[in-house]
């Protein structure tokens, strides 16, 4: 067989492989899509996924199967997606834990900025500072004044060492220049119960957890993160409105895929997500969870991840936070 014949067959084989890959990408999706949630059912990420998945399924023309893979602060489920084929059939919906973990753990089984393809920023949820009604501070300025008058005597509860509520407390300390202690609990629910029971004076939590006890008078809300007040709790000012800038501890939710996903699949997914997030019914349901919908192009999501990872890395280093 001549050299030209061999070369011709090799080029034909390569062309067929490339054509097959292109055709496959162009016809995506042709089978169900697995959406991995790296948390147990019932949490904020799981609920958000089950709000968005049915409409995304309708737009894409294939079932979206929500698959909960909890453990290790989202690492187990995230690793499953990082190791999956980059064909658009295995996706990950995750909150800010994936942005915090690089600063907390030196032994992650993946490089967060290299192992995933960002598809879309989905939502952002403010964090609220709440205190027991017995605390002699009616607003944020009075709480900061109280903390400065009693350095080291006040404590805030959190959902555990390294949890988002722990990091929110440390960011608050840094921004306000105060010395308050950290009281970790086994979950945000325990921290909330401790504040309502008077064991610790304050904690940080989401709107969905804070709204009812605040309205019932069991907690007092002093401020929330974000750049605007939330319609579901309109009487609670933002930290900036209350006179304290730099407490940007809001949680972010995003949709990711494995690294190397074809651009046309990423763009198709991004367009579908943005269309769903623009629907009034979806925005109303998401707002009821205490979130704001976001959306936008993949490039914005990439930038957000870079900024948030670096921000939390600095907070963790400054506070000396370590996890086992």
- What is the domain range of residue 83? 32-123+251-319
Residue 180 pLDDT > 80 = yes
Q: How many CB atoms lie within 10 A of CB 217?
A: 8
CATH number of domain containing 278? 3.40.190.150
CA 295 to chain centre: 13
Phi and psi, residue 176, nearest 5°: -90, -15
Q: How do residues 127-176 score in pLDDT, each as one tens digit?
A: 999 999 999 999 999 999 999 999 999 999 998 888 889 999 999 999 99
Phi and psi, residue 293, nearest 5°: -75, 150
Say what the pLDDT of residue 1 is.
52
User: If you average pLDDT over every residue of the chain, what do you get?
Assistant: 91
| One domain, residues 143 and 189 | yes
Place of tokens 């067929």: 16
| Cα–Cα distance for residue pair 198/111, rounded to 1 Å | 41
CA angle 12, 16, 19 (to 5 degrees): 135
The H or E element containing residue 127 is: strand 127-131
Residue 234, domain member (yes or no): no
| Cα–Cα distance for residue pair 145/137, rounded to 1 Å | 9
pTM of the model: 0.84
Say what the pLDDT of residue 209 is.
86
CATH number of domain containing 150? 3.40.190.10
| Cα–Cα distance for residue pair 145/59, rounded to 1 Å | 53
Mean pLDDT of 243-265: 95
| One domain, residues 174 and 257 | no
Residue 142, domain member (yes or no): yes
Query: Bridge-partner residues for 7, per DSSP?
Result: none
Note whether 74 and 110 are within 8 A (CB). Answer: no
Say what the pLDDT of residue 322 is.
82
CA 178 to chain centre: 27
Say what the pLDDT of residue 232 is.
86
| One domain, residues 135 and 167 | yes
Work out the pLDDT band at 43, boundaries 50, 70, 90.
confident
Split into its structural domains, the chain has a count of 2
């Amino acid at each position: 067989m001549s050299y030209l014949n061999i070369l011709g067959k090799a080029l034909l084989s390569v062309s067929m492989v490339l054509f097959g890959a292109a055709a496959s990408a162009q016809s995506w999706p042709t089978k169900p899509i697995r959406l991995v949630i790296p948390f147990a059912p019932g949490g904020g990420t799981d609920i958000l996924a089950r709000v968005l998945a049915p409409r995304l399924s309708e737009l894409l023309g294939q079932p979206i199967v929500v698959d909960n893979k909890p453990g290790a602060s989202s690492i187990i489920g995230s690793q499953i997606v990082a190791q999956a084929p980059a064909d658009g059939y295995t996706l990950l919906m995750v909150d800010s834990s994936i942005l915090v973990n690089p600063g907390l753990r030196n032994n992650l089984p993946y490089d967060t900025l290299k192992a995933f393809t960002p598809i879309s920023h989905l939502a952002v949820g403010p964090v609220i500072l709440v205190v027991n009604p017995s605390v002699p501070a009616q607003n944020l300025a009075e709480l900061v004044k109280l903390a400065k008058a009693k350095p080291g005597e006040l404590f805030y509860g959190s959902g555990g060492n390294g949890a988002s509520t722990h990091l929110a407390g440390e960011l608050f300390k840094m921004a306000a220049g105060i010395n308050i202690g950290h009281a970790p609990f086994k979950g945000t629910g325990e921290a909330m119960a401790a504040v309502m029971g008077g064991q610790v004076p304050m904690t940080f939590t989401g709107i969905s957890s804070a709204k009812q006890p605040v309205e019932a008078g069991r907690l007092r809300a002093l401020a929330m993160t974000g750049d605007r007040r939330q319609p579901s709790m309109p009487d609670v000012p933002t930290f900036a409105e209350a006179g304290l800038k730099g407490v940007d501890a809001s949680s972010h939710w995003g949709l990711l895929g494995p690294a190397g996903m074809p651009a046309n699949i990423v763009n198709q997914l991004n367009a579908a997500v943005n269309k769903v997030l623009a629907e009034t019914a979806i925005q109303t349901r998401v707002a009821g969870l205490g979130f704001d919908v976001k959306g936008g192009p993949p490039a914005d999501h990439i930038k957000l991840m870079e900024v948030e990872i670096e921000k939390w890395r600095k907070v963790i280093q400054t506070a000396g936070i370590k996890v086992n």
